[in-house]
Amino acid sequence: MCATIVDDGVGGWRHGTDWAFLERLAHRWVDGYDWRATEKRINRFANDRVPVDGANVHYLREPGSGPSPRPLLILHGWPYSFLGYLDVVERLAHPERFGGQVADAFDVVLISQPGTGFSDPPARPKSPRQLAEVYHRVMRDELGYQRYLVDGGDQGAVAGGFLALDHPDSVIGLHQSMLLPRQPEAPLGYGLTNADASAAERDYVQAEAARFQRDGAYFLLQMTRPESLAPALTDSPVGLAAWIVEKYHSWSDRRARTFEEIFSLDQLLDEIMLYLVTDSFATSLWSYAALQTDPSALPPDIRITVPTGITGWPDPWNPPPPRAFAERSRANIVQWTQPPRGGHFPFYEEPDLYVDDLRAFGRALR
């Protein structure tokens, strides 16, 4: 494995994954990394798979402390998985064990996106809105939760938004770190917004378009040619690692810490290994492919009405929008926070801030 990495003389992260870092990662992979230890961490919690539309959907569940913990559905995005939340599950379910109040406890449910990790792929690619329906059926029909909170980032934020839109009687509150879905006048990455937008709103979408021009090739490739990309990366573990690790580097908040101070090599290898041991990298891209026919935009003149919390992490890939921009697609924002630290992966980068923010949102809805 290590022999596949040959120094190209360029160095650094400017053109993608740094090969010197990739070599260190590969050496750890073959000498010291222990997937069995990760399996034990997973199995500390209750895991199951339930059939939805003929495909088994994986979830991890930790019942909360106290007499009335509220159900909390956490939805992951790409290129991470439910593994990213393992270290915060107990804090959310049992706050009293960590200096908190039992009244803040949640029944925590992590669902693996269909086609990712231990969830089977659907018969055909499902869009975020279609995935939202799968998640609702797991929560209501399989787990018996008639009412629940939803938290999501990245693609999990998109599906969570559609859950709140389509099932407002079931979703107690929506907590997001990415403002999607949003109004159709502001399609993601095009630099467009409403005709009456403020200068701050226009600046926001134009900066977003510039980021897509600079760093969004992965998005377009995974949306339009996933079946060409996947064989190359699944055939080469180091190639898959290079593709994934670059996103963790680019999207994390590295202003005060180095990349290797934020993420351990084993955390990165866990996420990579999950794709490999389940042979799910190809189908993890299907939700991108489905965006060609079912874009992640709200219907015209529709806003999400359930109580909403927006957390604007200083994410290099997805910085927070102006609040006025968010209010065009969210009618009931009850919490708006902008933490001082943390990027696209707050549960890894700043777990204490992530947990505190979710607890505060839960308290706001009592």
CA atoms within 13 A on the CB side of 289: 15
Catalytic hit among 58, 76, 175, 344: 344
Q: How far is CA 211 from CA 13, 177, 207, 219, 318, in A?
A: 16, 18, 6, 12, 9
- Contact residues for 176 (Cβ-Cβ < 8 A; gap 6+): 151, 152, 153, 157, 160, 161, 308, 309, 310, 311
Q: Is 344 a residue of the active site?
A: yes
Set 288, 315, 348, 357: catalytic member: 288
Give the Cα separation of 166 and 57 in Å (integer).
20
Per DSSP bridges, beta strands 55-62 and 46-52 are antiparallel
Calculate the alpha carbon distances from 198 to 154, 295, 325, 326, 328 in Å: 25, 25, 9, 12, 12
The answer to whether the CB of 345 falls within 8 A of the CB of 84 is yes
Residue 58 is a catalytic residue: no
Contact 76, 67 (CB under 8 A): no
* Candidates 104, 154, 253, 357; catalytic one: 154
**DSSP string over 43-62:** TTSEEEEEEETTEEEEEEEE
CA distance 174 to 308: 5
Can you tell me the distance from the alpha carbon of 353 to that of 350, in angstroms, rounded to the nearest whole number? 5
Give the residue numbers marked as catalytic: 154, 288, 344
